[in-house]
Amino acid sequence: MPSDLPINPSAEGLPLVGVTVVEAGHSVAAPFAGAIFAQLGADVVKVEMPGRGDHTRDWGPPYRDGVAVIYQAFNRDKRSIVVDLSDEEERNGLKSYILEEVDVVIQNLRPGVMEKYGLDSETLCTEKPSLIYCNLSAYGQTGPMRNRPGYDPLMQAFGGIMSVTGEEGRAPVRVGTSIVDMGAGMWSVIGVLSALIARSNSGCGSVVDTSLYETAIGWMTPVFGTFMASGDIPKRLGSAAAQIVPYEVFETADGYLMIAAGSDGLFERLSKVLAKAEWAVDEKYATNGARVVNRHLLVPMIAEIVKTKATSYWEDALNAAQVPNAPLQNAKEVTENEQTKALGIIQTIGDQECSLIGLPLSFNGMRPAFRKQPPKLGEDTDRVLKFRSKTSSKK
């Protein structure tokens, strides 16, 4: 897609060139962290299980070249090695590689797996004090639930996210993307980058711990803050915000429009666009606090007016009045939007018809590009571990 933002086609100049990362992970959280490292220029070596590899290789349809697209989305720019951890020779080969050449290990395997095979943080960091080791677990490293496995939707439920998502009177719903998994991956990256900075000063590595549960709680910071201050259990408000009114999606004559009047001044402008200027001086609506208390009166009146005209009409009118708004777009509309195209965040890999979302970062005005296709299962085992593994010979 044509873009106004230049694309950097190589790793040259990227901030993590020269950093080697071993990703002993599967599904979304650790692979997403690995994908960020890779797109920042690190050499990311993905450790996969014999036979099937990462679970996401099978998470389809859709598939491309026999591999699920979700796997490709989270594993571009990496190398893949297959290691049977139960095989002493292969396990020792991986350990030697880490001790000799690796800067960072990130893992989200089942609790106890890395300890069982002597690849845990305590063992490896003792033998290599400069190593940075990131544990990305389900419930955290301490507490009564530390040994339980977990997945994104479990954490959306257990961490309270589902309790404020959706509408009152209806069944709970999960956020439509894997927000906890991907958030945990981002926290892993933040932790590791911090540790790399610290190591550059001290020469010492460190153990970084994060978890899906902590990430879910972290996303709920303002919700829990409100509860702990008031004692009131927050309710589901659909697209609305608990502390700002109006700040939600309204149905138009032909679609839906998000209106975000986040201040009294913006509400005054909105009132004029809706031909209800008197609302801005009515004590029931003049301040945000009053609007929150009286949302049950105000929001239905706004909804009734907005529904009378098309989305484009309200967009033009609200934009002219400088009231923040945005139409609800589906995946097709987002990918075809001119702003999306201008950013160049949808990228292709080489001459392949494989479009994926790029890194939401640019450096000196240039966004890192995809450098290689997501790896075939175990395609780099021999080159990385420098031995012909039993697993690779069986493929």
Q: What is the CATH number of the domain that holds 352?
A: 3.40.50.10540
Q: Residue 66 has which token pair?
A: 């026999």
Active-site residues, by number, are: 181
CATH number of the CATH domain containing 320: 3.30.1540.10
pLDDT digits (tens, 9 = 90+) for 266-314: 999 999 999 999 999 999 999 999 999 999 999 999 999 999 999 999 9
Q: Are residues 97 and 162 in the same domain?
A: yes
Q: What share of the chain is helix, strand, coil (3-state, %, to 5)?
A: 40, 15, 45
Q: Are residues 353 and 320 in the same domain?
A: no
Residue 163, in any domain of the structure? yes
Q: Are residues 101 and 191 in the same domain?
A: yes
Q: Rounded CA gap, 125 and 134, in Å?
A: 11
Spatial contact of 108 and 121, defined as CB atoms under 8 Å apart: no
pLDDT at 1: 37
Domain finish residue from 327, 353, 381:
327
Q: Are residues 86 and 194 in the same domain?
A: yes
Domain finish residue from 327, 362, 382:
327
pLDDT digits (tens, 9 = 90+) for 55-82: 899 998 998 888 898 999 999 899 999 9
Residue 249, in any domain of the structure? no
Specify the number of domains making up the chain.
2
Q: Are residues 51 and 185 in the same domain?
A: yes
Spatial contact of 385 and 93, defined as CB atoms under 8 Å apart: yes
Residue 109 pLDDT grade (very low, low, confident, very high; cuts 50, 70, 90) = very high
Q: Are residues 199 and 313 in the same domain?
A: no
Q: Are residues 351 and 320 in the same domain?
A: no
CB-neighbour burial class of residue 252 (10 A; exposed 0-12, middle 13-18, buried 19+): buried
Q: Rounded CA gap, 288 and 262, in Å?
A: 8
Q: Rounded CA gap, 323 and 7, in Å?
A: 33
Q: Residue 245 has which token pair?
A: 């009114």
Q: Are residues 99 and 180 in the same domain?
A: yes
Domain finish residue from 298, 327, 356:
327
pLDDT at 144: 95
Q: Rounded CA gap, 122 and 355, in Å?
A: 40
- Identity of the amino acid at 378: G
Residue 178, in any domain of the structure? yes
Residue 246, in any domain of the structure? no
pLDDT at 251: 97
Residue 132, in any domain of the structure? yes
128-142, 291-305, 351-365: the lowest-pLDDT one: 351-365
Instruction: List, in order, residues 6 or more apart from 273 with CB less than 8 Å away.
Output: 314, 317, 318, 321, 323
Question: For residue 171, how many C-alpha atoms fall within 13 Å in the half-sphere facing its CB?
Answer: 2
Number of Cβ atoms within 10 Å of the Cβ of 48: 24
Residue 12 pLDDT grade (very low, low, confident, very high; cuts 50, 70, 90) = confident
Residue 77, in any domain of the structure? yes
Number of Cβ atoms within 10 Å of the Cβ of 202: 10
Q: Rounded CA gap, 71 and 63, in Å?
A: 9
Query: Is residue 223 scored above 50 in pLDDT?
Result: yes
Q: Are residues 295 and 154 in the same domain?
A: no
pLDDT at 337: 93
The predicted model scores a pTM of: 0.88
pLDDT digits (tens, 9 = 90+) for 163-212: 999 999 999 999 999 999 999 999 999 999 999 999 999 999 999 999 99
pLDDT at 2: 38
Residue 232, in any domain of the structure? no
Residue 336, in any domain of the structure? no
pLDDT at 11: 67
Q: Are residues 353 and 317 in the same domain?
A: no
Residue 6 pLDDT grade (very low, low, confident, very high; cuts 50, 70, 90) = very low
DSSP string, 191-239: HHHHHHHHHHHHS--EEEEEEHHHHHHHHTHHHHHHHHHH-PPP--BTT
Looking at residues 33-62, what average pLDDT do you find? 93
Q: Rounded CA gap, 23 and 188, in Å?
A: 12
Q: At what angle do helices 29-39 and 179-202 cross, to 10 degrees?
A: 50
Q: Are residues 115 and 74 in the same domain?
A: yes
Query: Is residue 385 scored above 70 in pLDDT?
Result: yes
Helix (H) or strand (E) holding 7: strand 7-8
Domain range enclosing 315: 256-327
Question: For residue 268, how many C-alpha atoms fall within 13 Å in the half-sphere facing its CB?
Answer: 8
Q: Are residues 275 and 208 in the same domain?
A: no
Instruction: List, in order, residues 6 or more apart from 176 with CB less than 8 Å away.
Output: none
Query: Is residue 394 scored above 80 in pLDDT?
Result: no
- DSSP-derived secondary structure letter, 23: E
pLDDT at 3: 43
